Structures are given as structure tokens and as C-alpha cells.
Structure 1
Amino acid sequence: MRHIFLLASLLVFFQTYSQTGNYFLSHYSPGKEERSSNVCFDMVQDDRGVMYFATRSGVLEFDGRNWDLISGNGAVYSLQLNKQKEIYWSGTGGYGKIDTNVPGDHKLKTLSAAGVGDVFQNLFSNDKLYFVSEQAIYIEHKSQPAVIIKSSNLTGTFRNVFELFGSVYINTQRGGIFKISDDKLLSATLGLPKDAEVTFSSGLNNFYVLGLSNNKIFITGEDLRMKEIKLQDQAYADASVVVNGSWVNRDLFVLGTLRGGMIFVQSGSGNTQEIVNYNTGLPDNEVYDLMLDKSLCIWSAHEYGFTRVAPYLPFRSFSHYNGLAGNLLCALSFEGREYVGTSLGLFKLEKEEVYEEITYYIDVEVKEKVPQQANNAKASASDSKQTIEPTPRQQESKKRGFLQFFRRGRENSKNSAAEKKEDIASTKDNTSKSLQKTSRSVKKVERVLRSSQYVYKKIQGVDAKVTQLFEYNGKLIAAGLAGAFEINGLVARPIVEEPVLTGYASSNLNVLLFSTYASEVRAFQLTADDKWQPLNFLENVDDHIDAIVDGVGQELWLCALDKAYRLDIADGQVKNIQTIVIDNPAFNTISCIRLNNEVILASGQGFQRFDRKKNSFERIDSLTKPIHYFSDGQNILYNDKHTWNLLGKAHGQSNLQLLNLFQNLRFVSIDHEAENLWLITETNELYKFFGEKFTPYEAGNEPLLRTVRNNDAKVDLLNFEVEENKSALTFEVVQPDYLAPQAIEYRYRLKGLDKDWSDWATSNSIVNYPYLPSDDYTLMVQSRDIFGKVHALPDVVFEVLPPYWQRPWFYALEFLVFSGLVLLSFRLSNRYRIISRLLSLLTIIMLIQFIQTVASSAFETKESPVTDFFMQVVVAFLILPVEGYLRNLMLRSIDTSSRFYRFLEPKPGNASRGKEEQ
């Protein structure tokens, strides 16, 4: 609730401003292998944050970075989550659920009986799952057999199923709306127009919003009293055809249309908050489906993929208003108006009501008097004509995929109603002429207000690249290749009529300064009669000046690529010029500011501070080297590889980590009128960032183990064991994120091998170990999003098995073999003394080798083969006395055993004497 309240407050805040810009959009499109068709029928997000899309080829799975296609038997039309967070599907192959037990190997499991097909929708309510086809409703409840409700002549074919406060309703072709109660159909009255069907319903807290097939919108509470919302742009909705919708929060809902993109509507007043269509950045105006995700963002499916709309995000786009041309270079707010400099000149955003004409077709009923005997023939011909040659209205409004069920049902309903009326007329008068109602497609043209009421208008007199905009004494100054200009409304007054490299408004000297491409610095002062008077006190400067900044008192700094000039100025004249060398061997662009009476420079080499005692620039070790840096003369915004920081007067700027949304920015500047930021991306998008007002809400998801590979083969994570000779393992981890997935950083540690954690890096989502010695391991991975929140992957415990000759069972087998050899040598010691000795020696050698192998594996360092070799030598020296002892012991035992056996054997003389005695 707290987050919803913040979102509502943010939307109210933006509404109070005139030119708020357009919502922030993120676009996603699957790869070629997964994209056999971009037609999406339904969307759902599981509890882990992973997105699933129902398509013609199966179910697309998306985690913010990776696309996976879970193919099945035909198209999938609908997806639904139950209380256990299991995902159920329905489609041409029946219905079932997605088996997600094995990471990286998800499958579509079929639950429907053989012969069940073309199930176009499913719904979960009160522990029951409802699967709907045109001819039957299948109700699944726990492990009980499915209950089947079949269509009848009363109902006709089944249509859209929807839910209101735990009760399930279904549209039918002939009978209107029925309620499904106790697995039976009951007639229901919801107080809705009888000639319209419910195309969507969306619930939030104690309210539901419903959309009808006639483009009307209703809201109801638990008392089921339907209240129609009078849309401010009802004409736009009618012309665009509303096909789906969803709540955003209690004060805002969104409508998806067939031809006009998305309409964000305030629930209390029906006023349009925003229209997101092609004119405002949406790739296509035909919206297949809508969904609200865990982060309160709206997903829309269209022909070119998927677009995520973030209404809460404190970014607003200003690059989609009409009239803007060229590559965007700079932007500034001045006196409540936005100015943008481009490669083609300077543009101002002004209010102007722009209308467009939308052409569409509607079906109009026409009464015709026809003979009775011709009614049936004409009706048949009409039906045949509708079947073979669809009207333009049918062609235009036909929704590919899922919505074709709605359209087909409506046409059948109209035909059925016409037939009933003909039968009634025929009964009343069999001989006279009757009135027959027929429909005719009529072309209509609506003049509809566009989503944007503002357009960019070009400033007259500025016809070349504008690279800089700043304010001087209440006047807007633009500088670039055409020179420098004072801007008054839509007219520019020239100040310098030669290409300007950079401009600066000196508050200490109260002058305007411009460095030119001719390596000159020009100074101007505004006179009492509002004229620009040139000053000549900087005529001796002859260098390529990148940046200008005020120093202490009457001090002025001019910064070139490899040196800086410190000028002491008094009474409008330069009294002293000092040249200081700058450490900038790569000749990176120099930015400079004055902070706490210190002059600070920024370049690709890092930050440098002017040390007045040493009279030189010294490195600031506490600040890392910037990857990207921008300066507006008073502040330096820079990226240190991990996040964005600000150095300067506006040091308290908040939420700068949100700039990590963009991988490459080519312009960042503080809008000093409201302390907001202007951003220009590499893709030529212009955004205004209201970072100091709100902290955006974004649900952080835990990282997931996407897959584990052993060389090229997937590893079964349910029985995770690998052999040492095949221990090349690659772990792929991902945190589902759709705000800035490319900025998620990871670090890892393999317990049992690594002593410390790795560094944070975006590339650490893939952990690769070419070889792992035998041992027990635990992989630990952490992720960090752009807000600095750290999430941990559940520990991955696995074992690398040693070779079979180093396993306990093999040691036990060796012991049994040694014992058998010793016993055998004892048995053979009497008659086969030489063989016994050889067996004893072999046993001793094998036993010593066994002891050495066990000892070496126990003392193995796993750090260096040289160290392990010396350890083996030490073990060998330690075993040497044992070897001698065992050899002497066994040989002595063999000799003793041999004498014992000889003693027991009878002597030759004793044997003959015994015989004689016998």
C-alpha cells in the first residue's frame, strides 16, 4: 500500500506540471531463434520475477537478459498462476502446467484428456482452475477428476471468462452472461448493457474495472453496482477499439487498443493521464495484451515484441513531440519552457492543439421492406457474402490470435439475432411483407486530439549545430557552430557570428565569455540599453580553450587540453597570466569547476586539484578515474564504472544511481531552474530526470541459477556430481530485472577453492572454472542492482569426484587384495619359497605405494605442482623405514612359516620306521 500511495503521489505531481513529457518506455524483443512469431496472446510473471509469454510457438520465458522458448504441441493462448505459484497454460493442444522443477529445462506438461483442444482461456479462482473452449468448460480442483460443462442451444459457444470478487462469470454467444456456481451455469444480471460483452476485468483491492465490447468502461465495488466511467477521450477509444485493460493503481488504469496504443485514465474523473502510442515511442499501435508486473509497471505486447511502461519512474521523455529534428545535443528549461539544441538548430517546446483524422468502419442497422418469400434467400445470401467477402470493418478490426474468438462470436451473435427476428416476423404475417433488419458497414472519420498537445518550433536565425545552452542575467544564451545568440521567444539575436567552442557566464566579472574555433576568447558585456558590447581584455589568449571557470575574487581560469591559464584581472584588464601544465597525455576533453574556492579539473586521467602552495595540479586520490564525465560549469557528473556521482554545488542530488539505466549517455546537465537533470542517450532520446523529488519503487528479485554446463552438456542439478577429469564447469546466474538488467553487477566465491570474493562486475553473471580438483564445493553468488541492494543466490553445493583409484571403495578393494596376497604367500612359503618371496615383495611394493598415494592425497596443497612434488618426496622418506620394517617382518615371517611347515612334515627315515612298527 505504501508503494501504491507513493506512485499515486508521483503521478499527481507530474500532473501539476504543464510539459511533463512522456512515460519511460523499455523495449524488449526475443532473438531470431525464439521469435517464430511475435503475436502474444497472454502474459504472466511468476513469484521469482520471470516473465512468461503465450505465443503461437509455445511459451516464451524471459528473465531480463535471456529468452527461452518452451515449445509444446501448438499455440498457447492463455497463462494463469495459482496460489502455489504454479503456471498453467491452455492452447491448441489442450491445457496443462509448466514444469519448472529442473532449472534451465522447463517443459509444458499436459493435464487435459486426449482429444481436448483449442482451449483459448484459463482462470484461477477459489482453488479452482477453469479452462474454456468454445464448446466446453473444464474445471480442475486439486486431484479430483475434471468437471466438464458443455455448451448448449441456450448458451451457444462460450466466450470470454472473467472473475469478480471470487465469482466466475462467462460470456456466451446466445445467453449473455452466466455465473459459474457449484460447477453449474446460472443466469446472471450485472447491470451491464445487454448488447455488449465483457472483454476484460481487472481487480485491485476492493474495486474492479471492466471493459465492454462497445468500448465502454465500468467500475464496480463489492456491491456489484456498475458505474460507467465517462472517458475524456471516448472518441479516441471508440476509433481505436478497446480490447484489454488493467489497473495501474487505485487512481489510474490503462486501456489497450487495437489501433491507438495505450490510454492511461484517471479512475476518479475519466481524464486521460497519458496516451502511449507510436507518436510517443510505442513501436506499434496494435496492442495484443496488457499486464501489471510486480513493480507496478505495465507490459504491452505488440508486433515488434514487448514494451514495459514505467509510470512511476521519475524520467519523462521529451524527444517524441512533433517538430524536433536532428541529433540531440543539449537541453535546458528556461522560464517554464523547454529548449533543445540539435545538429540542425534550436527548438522550443510550445503548446499547440494538434488533431488527426482517424478513419474506421461501424455496422449500422438498416430496416428494409422485403417480400416474405425472399427473406430466407436474402439472409442466406447475406450470410454467404459475409463469409466469403468480409467487409472493411471486419478486416480492420479483426484481431490476430486470441481476440479473433471475440470477433467471431460477435458476428455469429448478430447473425443469430437477425435470424430470430426474421422468424418472428414470418409468424406474425405469412403473406404480407415484413420488416427485416440488416447491417451495413459505414465509413466514419473522427477528428481526434492527439496524445501530445505540445510541438517543437524552430528558433528563427539559428540554422546550425547548437552545443550549449545557459543563462546569463535572466537571458537564455545558445552557442554552437552558428555562433552565440540571445534567445527571445522564437527569435534569436546574434552575439558572436563565428563558430563557438564553449561559452561561460562569469559571475565574478559579470561578462559573457566565448572560446572560438579560431583559438580566441571573446568577451561581451550587456549595456544599459540592452546591447552586447565587446571587451578586448583577452586578446592575448591564443589556444584551444575547452573550459572556463571563475576563480577566487577576480581570478579567471581558461583550460586547454594540456595546460591551464590563470588570469589575474583588475579594473577590466589582465594584470598577470600564469600557465600551469595539466597531466593529460591522451588529450581527453577537460572539464573544470570551482568548489570551495578550489579549482578542480576532470579528465580521463582522473580528478586534479590546484595546489596553490605547490603552484601545480595534484591528483585527488580519493576520487576514482571517471569513465564518463559531464560539466555544466558548476558541477561535474561522472561515472566511476559502478555508479554515477556528482561533484559540485548540487552535491545533494539524489537517486543518481538511476542513471545506470542508460549504458551510454552523451549529454548530462543539471537543469538549474528546478534542480533536475537533462539526459541525452546514444539512441538520440531526450529525458528529464526528476530525481530529487521521489525514490522510485522497484521490487528486487533474488538471483537465479539459470543453468550449469559441463563443457557443452547441461548438468542435472538434482544430482549434482561430476568427475574430476570432466570438471570444466560453467555456472550462469541471472537476477530477473527489467529496469536496468545490463547494470546488474555480480560477485562470486567458490568455497573450497577461493579464499575471497571476486570483484563486482556485470560480466560475473557467468562463472567459469576450466578445472576443479576433487573436493566438496559450495558456490556463493551475490547480485547488486542499480539501487545498491544486494541479493544472494541460494548456496549451490556440489561434489567433484576423484578418479576411481582415489575413492574409498577402491582403497578397500586394494586392502582386500593385499590381504589375499599375504595369505597366499604364507600358504606357498613351504613348497614354493621363491614364489612366496616374490609375492611378498610385490605385496610390500603395492602396500607402500598405497600408503604413499593416501598420504600424498591427504597432504596435497592444490597450489603448485612443484610444492606437491616435494611433499611426495618427504612422504617417501617418511615411508622408507616402514618399507624396511615390513620387508624384514614379512620375510622373517615367511622363513618362520617355512621352518614350521618343514617341522611338521615327516622325515624319510621316520616314515619307514613307522611302517615297520605297523
Structure 2
Amino acid sequence: MQRDIAGNTFKFILLLLLLALGSIGLNAQNGNPYFVNYGLPTGVSNQNWGFEQNENGELYVLNRRDVYSFDGWQWEGLSVLGRPIAIAYSHRLFYSTEQGVGYFNNRENAHPSQVNLIRVDDDNFYYKFSRTNDGLFVVSPTTICKISTSDSIVVDTVYHDVRPEVFISDFFQLGENTYHIKNSALIYLNKPNGGHEMLAGLPVGDDFTFSFIHNEMAFFGTKTNRLYTFDGQKLKQFKLADQQYANASFLNGGVSVNSNLIALSTLNGGCIIVDASNGQTSSMLNFSNGLPDDEIFALGTDNENGLWISHPMGISRVDFSLPISEMSHYAGLMGNLLTCIEFDNTLYVGTGEGLFYLAEHFTYKPVDIYVKTTKQKVAKKSETEPQQEQSISEKRKGFISRLFNRGNQELAADENITIKPEKDDGDSPQFEVDYRRKQIQKLESVSHVYKKVEGLNGKVRFLVVANNRLYAATNFGLYHITNKQAKSVVKGVNVLFAQESDIIKGDILIGTNEDVLVYSTSNSKGAIKSIAKQKGAIASVVQLSAGGYAFSNEFDVFIASQSGDSITRVDLPMGELGPPLIRKVKGKPFVFLKNSVFELKDDKLVKANDFTLSNQAQFFQYQQGVFWQQDSLRWSCISSDSCSPKFNSQLLNLFENPTFINVSTDNSVCVINAYKQIFRLAAQPNDTSAKPLSLFIKRILDKDGNILNPNNVSISYAENALKVRISAPSFVRKDAVMFQYRVRGLTNSWSEWSSNPFIELPFIPSGKYTLLVRAKDVIGNSSNVVELPFTVEPPFWQTIWFYIVSGIGGILLLLLIVKLREKSLRRDKLMLALKVKQRTRTIEKQ
């Protein structure tokens, strides 16, 4: 028996080595999906363990210390009471901590309050939520509860088991049925009467470590880095094409991305995107292609099927809905990226260090595998046998401990993993298998690598296709590229501009630091012709339909005859600023200046009204026949019918500084961003990326910082200032959203677009107003207008009661004045009468 065991062990080790040395570990990749990396604010732990999203698009992040909301611009801590373990959203945000299960009750005039639902005793922590149509399930090692959230919050216990020899380690739903996993290895069906039935289990010694649901199928990861599926009846292994990579990287989580893809996180190998239908790797996201760190803490998805990845450097979002692939992560590129083109089914990239092309490549790399040893297996025990109590107790303690230490999962270098052979027919020797980690040299497919074209070491500024041949324009001259090698055809010139003529196909128009040249490719040897000499650094050249040429340098525009014998300088309009650039748009030559565009007609410049201009307008023509105009956040493309990009041009705003744009023959677009990255935008209908943008008012503060009720915003005249925090969650890019507002009753025009989500109204006269807010993002999505009515109470001297009291007071004062006047008149009359009487007596006495 021992001899058979040893023989089987040797065969198994040999098989592992052959697989490691002979297999191709990573499948070919055609670029990685577009993703955005977000850093964490100061004071926030770098360990994030989960993601949820509400109906407004706001993201909730389960952090080791707290739960945070994030809208792509601002992080806000919710101050959860206790150490967070899990979160879920169902009409409200629910959470579990070491203290129990609770939720946030949104109050209209204050911060959301926390309501406790379930209290926890001892270490019976609720560690997982599972969403249902009308609420949530929440699970602890002994209990499964259902929380109804549709009308009022109601909690019911649906399963409870306090036996010390078992614990609930996971829970999931398939259709109308619910299941739980005991002791990290056995799958049970929960029956309506409260009972349960064991359906399947893992081989001896292996444990489930994570689970997720994809297309009504449960997927499970194990501590031996295997992936299993469960359809409600049978448990079977899911074959990963890159199993060796998974073994070396240690699987620690997974999530369903969309109907076709699943994502697997690893401890030290980044994130593997897998085709769920066949196990093939769709793409690999790790440090080498832009992910800030290879250690993944957690995965999650949002309402737009975006994949969220948590790592020590923050969080990242992968957007599979955008038709964008990142092409610069492959090894081999050197220098700043200047130009690119797809020719003969190959991507060529010109840089400051030469010309490179993308090719398949295989390389050896040290990886870890597991070498098998065997030992006699102990007879199988039932789940209730006392011999298992100690191991189950230790397993439960480890399970509970990992709830609060999910960032410390790294395996020791000499750690052993015990599993059972996958097939056991009952007659073979009963033994357990131990695997010890060992490093070997493995043949790994990097899938693609950039290789340098031989014979060219200069700075490649332009790539031109003429007569179905590829040419590279460099600071050392013009080169013909064939069979991945460069041959010099125009030597000793510093080429600053090059493109094929649209009049004589096969002619390449060349501008150098002094001259204008034409290189003809009509014959195999080629021919060079000089058009102009000593005209300064040439910025642009076009061939005119009349047979001559127009070209420009840093300051002037010239017209040359076909032979170059006659050269005329074209006068630029007074006050116009250069440098002038000559471009052809739909066959017509135009001269572009900083703030104006002129058509070149009969050797004169005529103001063109074909282009909408602003102070922010910029013009680009990177290839013959395709013209780009950028004005603020709006991109426009004017091109010939034979070369017309079919995609949402606003996607170019995802790139902070597009330095080169090339339209391929299949109407896809290659973009170089900031001389560092290459992206490929697949052709698609222009409106497929447009989606409505959610906009809501998050908080309203008065002058003293008090939170106001959004349904009844009324402030006194003494506190006549408002600060409104608005939010439009968008994660397509950092600072992706801009806002605009106006106050009906106070202003007639909209404000300038701004990325600041705070609206401050420092002084508002008394009256009734409505704040109107709208938002848009950089790729053209826009929101509806959101209205916020509010009132500024008038000062007491402008109130009706003040007017009434003042009126009554005025009347009383007037009456008093009249009375006093009447009294004064009576007194004067009496005094006059007395004086008359006295005078009369005096006269009578005389």
C-alpha cells in the first residue's frame, strides 16, 4: 500500500511540474477594461471590505473603522456605532457590528439616526446580508434572520442552531430556495418547516472561503484556491484556465460582474476577470497594468455593473460598459508616447525612443506551486461526533477572528494545505494529501509585449501610410517600415510634420526645421523633391487642388508653386495671434489661429463661419482627412466619409490630456493620453454611452450650520444665508461632474458650470424663491433640473402685523394731534374771549 501511495505521489508531482512548465498560464488579452483609481482621505483606514449603492447612485463603502458614503467627489463618514462587519441596502442602509444589527433612519432635518434591530451576545456576530425581493436575510454563526423592509421594519428568525459542534459559515439563495453552509464545508437546504437537509460537501480537509451568485449558480472559493459551482443539487469543480496563477496568488473573493463575466480577487496577484462560460481569463488587473496594488481586500458591483476593487492604496472602479481598452500596460514601451497607428493588423507606437509594435510574447517566471506529501487518513466522522468538537471549535474561532482581520490573510511561506484527492472509488488507499509550497520556473504567457522595430532609434513624431506602406517620420529622417525593420529613405533631416497628400496619393508631404519636401512612393526606390528652403521650422503642409502647396511656420503662411520656383507669403489679418496651422477640412484649406479660422482662397485669407469658437476652443488634426475640434467639454469631428469615427466623441473627455488621436480603418479610435497611456475606443453608435445622471440635494445648512428640512426651507431675515450640498454620483473619472444653478425670483441667468458641489447664497433678500440645479458629466450624461423652494422671512418691520400696528399707531397719533390741536384752539378761544371781556370792561369804565 505504501508503495502504491508513493507511486501515486510521484506521478502527481510529475504532473504538476509538467503543467507548470508546459502550460500557458495567462490567456491572450486584447487590452484591459477602463478603470479609475480613487485614493482615500486622510484618517480613513485603507482596509475596505464591501460596497453597496443606493437608488441615487451614492456608494457606501464598508471600512474597517466606519461606513463611508462616496459620490465620486467627497467621502463622508456615517459614524457607525461599533466595528463594522457587513452592510446592505434595501430602502435604507443596514449594517452589522460586534454590537448587533441596525439601520440608518433618514430624518429630514438632521443627520440620519441609527436604529438597533438585533443585539449580539458573546461572539454570535452577524457577518453577512443577502438581499431578497422584500428585504434582507442576515446571518450569524448560529442564526438566520429575515428582515422585511418594504413597509415597516420586521425581524423574524428563520433558523437557529446553538450546538457547539456546528456553526453557520455562509448563506446564499438560488431562486426561491435558501441554503446555508456549516463548518465551512457542508451545504444544507433550508426547508420551509424550519428543518434542513444536507446536499453536498467539500473533500476532507478543504474549506469554503467565499461565495457569490452568478446566473442562478452559486460559486464557491476554497482555501486550496479551487473554484466550485453549485446548481441547487450538485457541487462540482469549475475549471480555471489560469489555475496555476490562482494557486500562486491565493484566491480570496469573487463577484458576478455581468451575465458573461465573473471577477476573482487574490491576495497578491490582483484581480482575474474570467469568462463564466468556459473559465478562460478575459483580462488581468494588477500592478503591472495600472492597479495601484496587487493585494485585494474586497470586490463589489454597482447599479451600472461597474466592478469595485478595494486594495491598500484605496479603491478602483472597472467600467465594462464603456467601449474602451487600455493598451499601454504591456511591457516593452520606452519613452514618451507620441503617435500610433494600426497597420497590417498590428499596433505600432512611436515614442521618443523609437518605434514599437505589439506582438505575442512568452517568458519564464518564478511561481509557487504545491508539492504533495501523503499521510494515512483518519476515518470519517459525522458532524456531531465529539472527536470533531475541538477542530470545529478552532475553525469557528478562526472564522470569527477573520471577520475583524480580513486584511491579514497572508499565508506563511511554509504553510501546509490539506485536501482530499478529487476521485475516490472506495477501493483506493484512504489517505490525506498535504501540499507544501515550492517555487519553480514556469512558462507564463504575458500575452503581448511591445517590441522595438530594428534600425530606428530616433524620436518618431508621425506614422504615415502611403501606397499601403508604413513610414515613420523621425528627427533623423523618414523611414520605411517593412517586416518589423526600418530602412532610411530620407536621411539627415529633422522631420517636424508629415502626412500623405490628399491630391496625389502616395506623396508624403514633409516639413523639417528648415525646408518643405515631398517624398514620392510611386516607385520602389522613391523620389524626393524640395519645395521650399530656409523657411524656419515648418508646422504644417497641405497640397492645394490647383497643384501648388501651402505651408506654415511659427509666424507665417506661404503658398508655393508645384515646382517650388515661386513662393508667396500670405498676409495674416491684423490683430490675429498665431502660430498659424494649415489644415484641410473636407477638401478645403483652412488656417487656424488662436481664436479665429480663415479659409485660404486665391492666396488670401477669408473669415470662415463654419466653426463655433470660444476662448477655450482647440483644433487638432493628427492624420489626413480627420479634423478634431475641442471646445470646453465638447468634442466635434469633421472627416471624410471614408474615415469617420463611429463612437460617442465625448468619451475623449475621460482623458485628461489627449495628445494624439488616430481613427483606424474599422472606425475605432486610438488615443494617447498625456504621452503615457494608449487607449482603444471601439466603434459603436454614438448614443450607447449616454445615461441619465442622478442629481439630488444632499444637505441644506443655514447661516449657523444647522441642517434644514428640505420639504420646508424657511429661514429668518437675521439668518438669511444658505449653503446647499448637492450630489450627482458619477464614477467615470475623477471630478467627472459639473453643476449649474440659478435662483428663480432672484437671478435670471444660470451660473457658470463648476465642479464645486456646494452652492452658497451669502445674502438673500426676504421673499419666496426656488433654487434650480442641474448637472452634467464629462461624457455627455445630464440630469433633470432639481428644484428647491425656500423662503426668507421678512424682517419684523416688513411684516403685515408691523404695518397694521404702525397704521393704528399713526391713526392714534393723528387723533391725538387733532385732539391736542382742538384743545389748544379751545383754550386760545377761551383766552381770547377773556381778553375781549376784559377789554370791554376797561372801555366801559372809561
Shorter-chain TM band:
0.7 to 0.9
Is 1:731 matched with 2:739?
Answer: no
Q: 1:144-223 counterparts in 2 under 5 A? A: 144=154, 147=157, 151-153=161-163, 155-173=165-183, 176-181=186-191, 184=194, 186-190=196-200, 196-203=206-213, 206-219=216-229
Q: 1:775-794 counterparts in 2 under 5 A? A: 775-794=767-786
Deviation per residue, 1:689-736 (Å, 9 max, x gap): 124467545653321213334456243234522222332323232211
Structure 2 match to 1:319: 328
2:481 counterpart (484, 487, 490): 487
Structure 2: distance between partners of 1:441 and 1:751: 72
- What SS does the aligned partner of 1:25 have? strand
- What SS does the aligned partner of 1:23 have? strand
Structure 2 match to 1:595: 585
Deviation per residue, 1:356-404 (Å, 9 max, x gap): 33225678553499xxxxxxxxx999999999xx9xxx9xx99983487
Deviation per residue, 1:877-899 (Å, 9 max, x gap): xxxxxxxxx68755577789999
| Equivalent residue letter for 1:130 | F
Contact 2:740–2:751 under 8 Å retained in 1: yes
Structure 1 match to 2:613: 624
Contact 2:660–2:671 under 8 Å retained in 1: yes
Contact 2:70–2:76 under 8 Å retained in 1: yes
Q: Percent identity?
A: 23
2:516 counterpart (517, 521, 527): 521
Contact 1:199–1:212 under 8 Å retained in 2: yes
Q: CA deviation at 1:456?
A: 0.6
Q: Given the superposition, is the C-alpha separation of residues 600 and 476 from structure 1 closer, same or farther in structure 2, using an over 3 Å criterion?
A: same
Structure 1: distance between partners of 2:219 and 2:392: 35
1:549 counterpart (519, 532, 542): 542
Is 1:43 matched with 2:33?
Answer: no
Q: Given the superposition, is the C-alpha separation of residues 622 and 680 from structure 1 closer, same or farther in structure 2, using an over 3 Å criterion?
A: closer
Stretches of structure 1 that go unaligned for 5 or more consecutive residues are 1-16, 370-378, 418-434, 823-842, 845-885, 900-918
Contact 1:201–1:209 under 8 Å retained in 2: yes
Deviation per residue, 1:430-462 (Å, 9 max, x gap): xxxxx9988866123366665741111112232
Deviation per residue, 1:28-54 (Å, 9 max, x gap): 122214x2x111111111111111111
Q: Which moved more, 1:625-634 or 1:461-470?
A: 625-634
1:608 counterpart (586, 598, 621): 598
Is 1:707 matched with 2:699?
Answer: yes
- What SS does the aligned partner of 1:238 have? helix
Task: Please report the TM-score for the alignment, with normalisation by the length of structure 1.
Answer: 0.75
| Equivalent residue letter for 1:514 | I
Structure 1: distance between partners of 2:519 and 2:371: 65
Is 1:468 matched with 2:476?
Answer: no
Q: Which moved more, 1:313-322 or 1:693-702?
A: 693-702
Structure 2: distance between partners of 1:799 and 1:688: 51
Contact 1:707–1:714 under 8 Å retained in 2: no
Structure 2: distance between partners of 1:414 and 1:816: 96
Q: CA deviation at 1:194?
A: 6.5
| Equivalent residue letter for 2:782 | V
Is 1:69 matched with 2:64?
Answer: no
Equivalent pairs counted in the alignment come to 771
1:101 counterpart (104, 107, 126): 107
Contact 1:315–1:690 under 8 Å retained in 2: yes
Structure 2: distance between partners of 1:512 and 1:324: 27
Q: Given the superposition, is the C-alpha separation of residues 133 and 398 from structure 1 closer, same or farther in structure 2, using an over 3 Å criterion?
A: closer
Q: Which moved more, 1:315-324 or 1:508-517?
A: 508-517
- What SS does the aligned partner of 2:786 have? coil
Q: CA deviation at 1:179?
A: 3.8
Structure 1: distance between partners of 2:268 and 2:34: 21
Structure 2 match to 1:24: 34
Structure 2 match to 1:87: 93
Structure 1 match to 2:132: 125
Structure 1 match to 2:556: 563
Q: Given the superposition, is the C-alpha separation of residues 639 and 93 from structure 1 closer, same or farther in structure 2, using an over 3 Å criterion?
A: farther
Q: Given the superposition, is the C-alpha separation of residues 185 and 405 from structure 1 closer, same or farther in structure 2, using an over 3 Å criterion?
A: farther
Deviation per residue, 1:769-792 (Å, 9 max, x gap): 221000111111112234544322
- What SS does the aligned partner of 2:566 have? strand
Structure 1: distance between partners of 2:30 and 2:167: 47
Structure 2: distance between partners of 1:165 and 1:474: 57
Contact 1:236–1:448 under 8 Å retained in 2: no
Contact 1:81–1:88 under 8 Å retained in 2: yes
Contact 1:462–1:482 under 8 Å retained in 2: no
Contact 1:176–1:194 under 8 Å retained in 2: no
Structure 1 match to 2:639: 648
Is 1:690 matched with 2:682?
Answer: yes
Larger radius of gyration: 1
Structure 2 match to 1:354: 363
Deviation per residue, 1:813-835 (Å, 9 max, x gap): 5567668xx4xxxxxxxxxxxxx
Structure 1: distance between partners of 2:133 and 2:681: 44
Q: CA deviation at 1:751?
A: 1.3
- What SS does the aligned partner of 1:313 have? coil
Structure 1: distance between partners of 2:725 and 2:806: 40
1:578 counterpart (565, 568, 574): 568
Contact 2:266–2:296 under 8 Å retained in 1: yes
Q: CA deviation at 1:320?
A: 0.4
Structure 2 match to 1:678: 670
Q: Given the superposition, is the C-alpha separation of residues 491 and 640 from structure 1 closer, same or farther in structure 2, using an over 3 Å criterion?
A: same
Q: 1:716-795 counterparts in 2 under 5 A? A: 716-718=708-710, 719-740=712-733, 742-759=735-752, 761-763=753-755, 765-795=757-787
Contact 1:562–1:582 under 8 Å retained in 2: no
Structure 2: distance between partners of 1:795 and 1:116: 49
Structure 2: distance between partners of 1:496 and 1:314: 41
Q: 1:340-419 counterparts in 2 under 5 A? A: 340-359=349-368, 365-367=374-376, 401-402=405-406
Q: CA deviation at 1:266?
A: 1.9
| Equivalent residue letter for 1:67 | W
Structure 2: distance between partners of 1:115 and 1:121: 17
Q: 1:432-471 counterparts in 2 under 5 A? A: 442-445=436-439, 450=444, 452-471=446-465
Structure 1: distance between partners of 2:176 and 2:633: 47
Structure 2: distance between partners of 1:413 and 1:444: 13
Deviation per residue, 1:599-623 (Å, 9 max, x gap): 11334323222243x8224243642
Structure 2 match to 1:882: none
- What SS does the aligned partner of 1:742 have? coil
Stretches of structure 2 that go unaligned for 5 or more consecutive residues are 1-26, 379-387, 421-428, 829-846
- The structure whose RCO (Cα within 8 Å, separation 6+) is larger is 2
Structure 2: distance between partners of 1:49 and 1:132: 26
Q: CA deviation at 1:75?
A: 2.6
Structure 2 match to 1:863: none
Deviation per residue, 1:405-449 (Å, 9 max, x gap): 9999xx99989x9xxxxxxxxxxxxxxxxx998886612336666
Contact 1:329–1:342 under 8 Å retained in 2: yes
- What SS does the aligned partner of 2:107 have? coil
Structure 1 match to 2:384: none
Structure 1 match to 2:658: 665
Deviation per residue, 1:657-711 (Å, 9 max, x gap): 111112322222323x333222122272111112446754565332121333445
- What SS does the aligned partner of 2:294 have? coil
- What SS does the aligned partner of 2:584 have? strand
1:246 counterpart (248, 255, 261): 255
Structure 2: distance between partners of 1:679 and 1:596: 22
Is 1:496 matched with 2:496?
Answer: no
Deviation per residue, 1:755-805 (Å, 9 max, x gap): 23335x234643332210001111111122345443225321111122233
Deviation per residue, 1:300-350 (Å, 9 max, x gap): 111111111122321111110011112211111111111111122211111
Structure 2: distance between partners of 1:703 and 1:603: 39
Task: Please report the TM-score for the alignment, with normalisation by the length of structure 2.
Answer: 0.81
Deviation per residue, 1:586-642 (Å, 9 max, x gap): 865544322344211334323222243x82242436421454332123222121003
Structure 2: distance between partners of 1:777 and 1:683: 49
